Structures are given as structure tokens and as C-alpha cells.
Amino acid sequence: MNRRPTLFRDPRPGSALDAHRPLLKSIREGKIEFHALGRGHYPGARLARSELPGLLSLGFWDARGAQDWGMEFHRNEGVEICLLETGSMVLAVDADTHPLGPGSLTITRPWQLHRQGNPHIAAGRLHWLTIAVRAQRPDQAWQWPAWVLLAPEDRDELTRRLRLTESPVWHATPDVVRSFRQIAAALARESGARRLSRVAIGVNDLLLGVLEMLRAENRIERPRLASREHSVELFLADLRQNLISLERNWTLPGMAAACGIGTTLFSRLCRRLTNASPLRFLNLARLDAAARMLLSDPGRRVTAIAFDCGFQSSQYFAHQFKRRFGVTPRVYRTNKGVVRNSKPRVDPARAVRVSRG
């Protein structure tokens, strides 16, 4: 069962963050050239609180050969824009993988789980920008840092296109490539206030180039991608797939609050998406996760699996499991999941499918 970062809110401080240990080790060993600015857990030269607030990470690496590491699955606190200038790479976003080549531009939003590498990083030169927009859910309004100086109309259009055309892979225009190169030159050659000035100018130029690229591509915009229903849909899908989410002691108000809405609307949207109440959906998702773990981890005790999946009592878990699958957890494991003479079940927990539209 996957213990990946939770969506919208992580109950364990630091557990959603990628510590970048393999990357830092590769830098120390001279396998990769690395230049970056960063704050928080992002690696690179430290940005002071007053320096370009909202800029989370900006930089490039030049991997001279195939690496023996890859990025972990993670979500960023902001929008991430990456350019693979040379070489090749595989990008995984949620359940999809995308082969990248020279000139591939990738855009991921804060709620999109992703990683670079499959599982390892290939030789290549990668540029990136991660910038906070104060939104962690699709339905939240974006707020760009004050030093992003695009005209209000351009800034609003960039926001709209990024929110409503959620494609992760694009082909960079020459202007976008040029902007990333200029930023890289400033990071490698400049320092102090001069570097910050060039970076601020370069990022604004880059965002304008991305906007012009999005305009030229003009892919279909899907307003539902910025809806409350889509936020609930993503939250429920994460509950089904993520052990860290499932083991949390959820209540109905807590689930609704994680999606930024009231309990009445959350319950209505949950039933619309799954044909089940939120707490029934949660219970079924936990039981399905436990069933998978019983088969995938045969050496783990049934009680430990129950607690891992969020059940507070092993007796209650065994009772609920038998009601759902017709047999006890131990018999289910012994029979390798084959349940005979059981009635067909409607499975709301499997009903959540994240819509692209």
C-alpha cells in the first residue's frame, strides 16, 4: 500500500516533503552540476524571507551521465515549471508516465503527485521554477507574488489557462528556452542583489513566455478542473489510494474542512460522486486497502494492518471485514482473496475516477 504524501493537508509534519537526499549526495560526489536558489526544504542557496517571497525553488542541474537515483513522488507547495533542455527523462504524474526529450516543458500544480525519473534520472540538463500561488486545491483562487509584474489581464489569463488546461507536458517555445537559459546564467555567474534582480526579471520574462505558449497551443479549457466538485473528487481518490490518508482519524467535519467546504455540501458531492455517504465511503476504502495489504504483505499481523488502515479496534475491523467480504481477514488471506458464495456488491469506494474534464 502506497504511503505517499496526502492531498491538501498532511497530518505528519514534514512527511509530504522530498528531502532530496539522493540529489544532494550526487552533487557532493560530483556526478551532477547544480545551481539553485531555495527556501524551506528546497535545496540551493538560501533565500532570505524578504528576498523574492513566494519563490520556492529555481535552478538547473546538468547530469553528465545516467544517475543511480530518481526523485521521490511528491507534491510541491506551488506551481512547478520545468524545461528539459537536453537529454531524456520520464515524468510520472499521478498514474500516468510521460517520456520527455529535448525541449519538453512540464507544468505541475500543487495537487498533482509527480516525480522525475523512472526510477532513475538519465543524463540531461533540467531547469525548473517552483513558485507559490497560495492555492493547494483546484477550487482555490491563485495569488501570485507581488514581484510578478505581468499586467493584470495577462496575469489573470495565465492563471486561468494554468488552472483549466491541466496538461502536464508541452513543447517549449524558443522564448521559454531563452528565459530559462538567462536565469541559469544569472544563477551560475552572479551573486547578491544583482543575481536577485536578474532572477526577478528572468522569471517575469519566463511567465510571459509561458503565457504566449499557452495562447498559441490554445488547448481546451475545462472549467470543472477549478470546481469544488473536482477538489472533492481528488480528495476521495487520495483516500482510496493512500495509506497515510486512510490511517488518519477522520471525522465528517474534518473531511469537509480538508476540501474547504461545509459538511452539507461535502456530503452531497460525495454521494453524487460515489453513491455513498462520506463515512461509508471511508469505511469501504479502508476495508479495500486492508484486503490488498492482507495479500501483498502476508507476514504482517492482521491487527497491525487494521491499525495501518485507520481502524481503532481490531474487533470492529474483523466484524466489518466479514460483513463486506463474507469471510474473516485470516480466511481471506488463506484463500488468497478468493471469496466463494458471496453476493455481488456495489462498491462505492471504487466509484471515484478522477475526471480530466
Spatial contact of 256 and 323, defined as CB atoms under 8 Å apart: no
Q: Is the pLDDT of residue 182 over 70?
A: yes
Which grid coordinates belong to 195? 543575481
Between CA 25 and CA 40 the distance in angstroms is: 19
Spatial contact of 101 and 184, defined as CB atoms under 8 Å apart: no
Rg (Cα) of the chain, in Å, rounded? 23
The CATH number of the structural domain formed by 21-223 is: 2.60.120.280
Spatial contact of 133 and 148, defined as CB atoms under 8 Å apart: no
| pLDDT number for residue 351 | 67
Average pLDDT score over the chain: 91
Q: Is the pLDDT of residue 13 over 50?
A: no
Matching residue, cell 493512500 = 242
Look up residue 243 and give its amino acid: L
Q: Which of 272, 269, 266 is nearest to 254 (CA)?
A: 266
Average pLDDT over residues 79-96: 95
**Domain boundaries of the chain, sorted by first residue:** 21-223, 227-350
| CATH classification (class only), 227-350 | mainly alpha
Give the tens place of pLDDT for each residue, 187-208.
Answer: 999 999 999 999 999 999 999 9
Give the tens place of pLDDT for each residue, 39-77.
Answer: 998 999 999 999 999 999 999 999 988 998 888 888 999
| pLDDT number for residue 29 | 87
